[in-house]
Amino acid sequence: MGSNAAAILAFLILTNTFMKRTLTAEDIAAGVERLAVAIREKNPDQPIALVGIRSRGDEVAERVLTLLSSEDRELSFGVLDISLYRDDFEHLRENPSIQESQISFPVEGAHIILVDDVLFTGRTIRAALDALSDYGRPAKVELAVLIDRGHREMPIQPDYVGIVLDTCRLDHVLVSLEGTDGMDQIQVVEKEKP
């Protein structure tokens, strides 16, 4: 057994978890492709702006952008950090570090597609909508997610989905992406009930 595998095993034992499912780089590529196709079909030739939510939503957005960029249409790209718009500061011992948002196109009147890696409770998207509206008033905002794992706590639904994952409320969905984590992989890890 390699030391890496031993480390993973130790992690699983220590944290009372075990792997339910693993998705590969091919699954992720297919999911991104599905997003690009759906966005293309629904919005032929219209100018659109993809805005990725930090962290990893920006990387998903970049990949979708690459697939769309072969077409003759106006594409804009932006990155949003939503830390300052969270609704759980009271429960944090330490406020999350924030990074710069990069929205260099005019938001006013734009057709924006928000992009994130995992859609879970919907709270991140709520925060992202608030953050976006402080840059201006878009004509339209849609939502694209690489993974929809269910268990919403807010009335928010995606317009484009790459992969639907059936999960339990307490499961962890661990997303690794090449640019952020050095490899493409998605793991669903179950947390045992105490």
Partner 1 sequence: MARKDLLDIISLSREEIEHLLDQSIPFKELFTRSVKKVPALKGKSVLTLFYEPSTRTHSSFEVAAKRLSADVTNFDVAQSSITKGESVRETVETLQAMRTDYIIVRHSRSGLPSMIARQTKASVINAGDGSHAHPTQALLDAFTIKEKFPDPTGKRVLIIGDILHSRVARSTSTILKKIGVDVAFLGPGSLVPMTGPEGIRRFTDYKEAMAWKPDFVYLLRVQMERQDAQFFPSLREYHRLYGITDARLADIRDRGLYLMHPGPVNRGVELCDAVMDYERSLINDQVENGIAVRMAVLYWLKPGNGAE
User: Which residues contact partner 1 (rule: CB under 8 A)?
Assistant: 81, 83-86, 89, 93-95, 97-101, 130-131, 133-136
- Least CB distance from residue 77 to partner 1, whole Å? 17
| Beta carbon of residue 97, minimum distance to partner 1 (angstroms, whole number) | 7
Q: Which is nearer to partner 1, 7 or 154 (CB)?
A: 154
Identity of the residue, 107 or 114, whose beta carbon is nearer to partner 1 in the bound complex: 107
Can you tell me whether residue 110 is helix, strand or coil?
A: coil
Nearer to partner 1, 24 or 95 (CB): 95
Give min distance, CB of 170 to partner 1, in A: 28
The answer to whether 156 touches 122, Cβ cutoff 8 Å, is: yes
Which residues does 101 contact at the CB level (< 8 Å), separation at least 6?
A: 54, 78, 79, 80, 81, 131
Q: Cβ(53)–Cβ(115) under 8 Å?
A: yes
Residue whose tokens read 């706590």: 153
Nearest to 115 by CA among 147, 86, 73: 147
The nearer residue to partner 1, 95 or 157, going by C-beta atoms, is 95
C-beta closer to partner 1: residue 11 or 89? 89
Contact at 8 Å (CB) between 135 and 150?
Answer: no
Give min distance, CB of 102 to partner 1, in A.
8
Whole-number minimum distance, CB 107 to partner 1, in Å? 8
Contacts of residue 176, defined as CB under 8 A and 6 or more positions apart, other chains included, come to: 182, 183, 184, 185, 186
Kindly report whether the peptide bond that precedes residue 104 is cis, defined as omega within 30 degrees of 0.
Answer: no
